[in-house]
């Protein structure tokens, strides 16, 4: 991968989530940058996963060709209930789809801005929850492939949202929810033939984020509108950098943007003069 382009921050679960951001051949421990002024300057180019450089993406972070041809942009990526690799039916690239879909998946319930249902590869579980800024999460079901998780999700999302309200997620910590009793309640709606996959694991994962100050009225910053983003870092939640003056920057939605990242240490500067 091109080291000049933005990629989502990597995380590790600790007392508070630890965030790492790699760009321009450097890795930053982002938690340590809270209180410092950061600067992200866009070079006016984006880079597709296939290596093609462009002025802007065609759609959903892909170039035209990838959007219409890559298995990573197929319909079942956005709608897991359309997955067919478990039936040996190709959508765009059966070998890739088998590798991606025929792996254990979780259906989970999380509380990031209220209750939501979601799916993820089992290996991604906690990472997914941290990326969404969830404060609590519980596994509802563990299934052998992506299609079954999509089928369960479809039946559950008639009762709870499958979306995170990111503005609400960024405005503070949500009220605690009794996820276990909601799991029991929602398990009733799992389709009969998939009930065998309801998980016995009732552990609730609790997640805290390094935020010194939440925004009051969230203003989202976009590089293609502004060219650059600059401000004192106040915290990190989900894949968002929270900056001073209620501004937020979604790192994940800027994946592929070719940029320069720099840090100024304000406290160090003021002590010099």
Q: Smallest distance from the beta carbon of 164 to Zn ion, in angstroms?
A: 27
Q: Smallest distance from the beta carbon of 245 to Zn ion, in angstroms?
A: 35
Q: Smallest distance from the beta carbon of 224 to Zn ion, in angstroms?
A: 18
Q: Smallest distance from the beta carbon of 114 to Zn ion, in angstroms?
A: 35
Q: Residues touching Zn ion: how many (CB under 5 A)?
A: 5
3-state secondary structure of 220: strand
Please choose, from the candidates 210, 206, 208, 237, the residue with its C-alpha nearest in 3D space to the C-alpha of residue 136.
Answer: 206
Query: Please, which of residues 182-211 interact with Zn ion by CB under 5 A?
Result: none
Q: Smallest distance from the beta carbon of 2 to Zn ion, in angstroms?
A: 13
Q: Which is nearer to Zn ion, 54 or 180 (CB)?
A: 54
- Other Cβ atoms less than 10 A from the Cβ of 120: the count is 22
Please choose, from the candidates 253, 239, 249, 261, the residue with its C-alpha nearest in 3D space to the C-alpha of residue 215.
Answer: 249
Q: Which is nearer to Zn ion, 54 or 89 (CB)?
A: 54
Which pair of tokens denotes residue 271? Answer: 């002590």
Q: Which is nearer to Zn ion, 50 or 203 (CB)?
A: 50
- Other Cβ atoms less than 10 A from the Cβ of 78: the count is 9
Q: Which is nearer to Zn ion, 55 or 216 (CB)?
A: 55
Per-position x/- string for 59-98, each x denoting binding to Zn ion as judged by CB under 5 A, each - no binding: ----x--x--------------------------------
Q: Provide the β-strand partners of residue 219.
A: 247
Measured in residues, the chain has a length of 273
| DSSP annotation string for 35-94 | TSEEEEEEEEEEE-TTS-EESS-SBTTB-HHHHHH-GGGSHHHH-GGG--GGGT--SS-H
Please choose, from the candidates 117, 141, 156, the residue with its C-alpha nearest in 3D space to the C-alpha of residue 200.
Answer: 141
3-state secondary structure of 134: coil
Q: Smallest distance from the beta carbon of 48 to Zn ion, in angstroms?
A: 3
Q: Which is nearer to Zn ion, 91 or 173 (CB)?
A: 91
Q: Smallest distance from the beta carbon of 52 to Zn ion, in angstroms?
A: 5
Q: Smallest distance from the beta carbon of 257 to Zn ion, in angstroms?
A: 14
Q: Which is nearer to Zn ion, 63 or 236 (CB)?
A: 63
- Contact between 109 and Zn ion by CB under 5 A: the answer reads no
Task: Compute the chain's Rg from CA coordinates.
Answer: 20
Q: Which is nearer to Zn ion, 48 or 140 (CB)?
A: 48
Q: Catalogue the E-assigned strands of 122-211.
A: 136-143, 205-206
Please choose, from the candidates 105, 64, 112, the residue with its C-alpha nearest in 3D space to the C-alpha of residue 81.
Answer: 105
Query: Please, which of residues 7-66 interact with Zn ion by CB under 5 A?
Result: 48, 50, 52, 63, 66
Q: Which is nearer to Zn ion, 29 or 64 (CB)?
A: 64
Q: Which residues bind Zn ion (CB under 5 A)?
A: 48, 50, 52, 63, 66
């Amino acid at each position: 991968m091109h080291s000049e382009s933005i990629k989502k921050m990597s995380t590790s679960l600790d007392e508070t989530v630890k965030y790492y951001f790699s760009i321009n051949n450097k890795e930053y421990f982002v938690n340590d940058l809270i209180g410092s002024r950061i600067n992200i300057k866009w070079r006016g180019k984006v880079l597709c996963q296939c290596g093609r450089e462009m002025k802007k993406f065609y759609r959903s972070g892909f170039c035209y060709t990838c959007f219409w041809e890559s298995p990573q942009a197929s319909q079942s990526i956005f709608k897991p209930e359309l997955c067919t690799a478990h039936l040996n039916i190709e959508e765009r690239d059966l070998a890739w789809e088998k590798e991606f879909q025929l792996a254990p998946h979780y259906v989970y319930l999380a509380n990031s801005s209220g209750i939501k249902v979601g799916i993820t590869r089992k290996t991604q579980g906690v990472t997914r929850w941290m990326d969404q800024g969830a404060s609590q999460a519980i596994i509802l079901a563990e299934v052998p492939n992506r299609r079954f998780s999509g089928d369960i999700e479809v039946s559950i999302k008639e009762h709870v949202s499958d979306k995170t309200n990111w503005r609400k997620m960024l405005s503070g910590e949500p009220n605690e929810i009794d996820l276990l009793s909601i799991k029991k309640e929602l398990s009733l709606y799992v389709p009969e033939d998939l009930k065998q996959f309801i998980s016995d694991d009732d552990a609730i994962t609790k997640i805290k984020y390094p935020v010194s100050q939440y925004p009051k009225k969230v203003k989202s910053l976009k590089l293609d509108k502004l060219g650059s983003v600059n401000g004192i870092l106040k915290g990190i939640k989900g894949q968002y950098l929270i900056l001073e003056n209620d501004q937020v920057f979604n790192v994940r939605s800027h994946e592929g943007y070719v940029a320069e990242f720099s840090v100024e240490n304000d406290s160090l500067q003021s002590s010099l003069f």
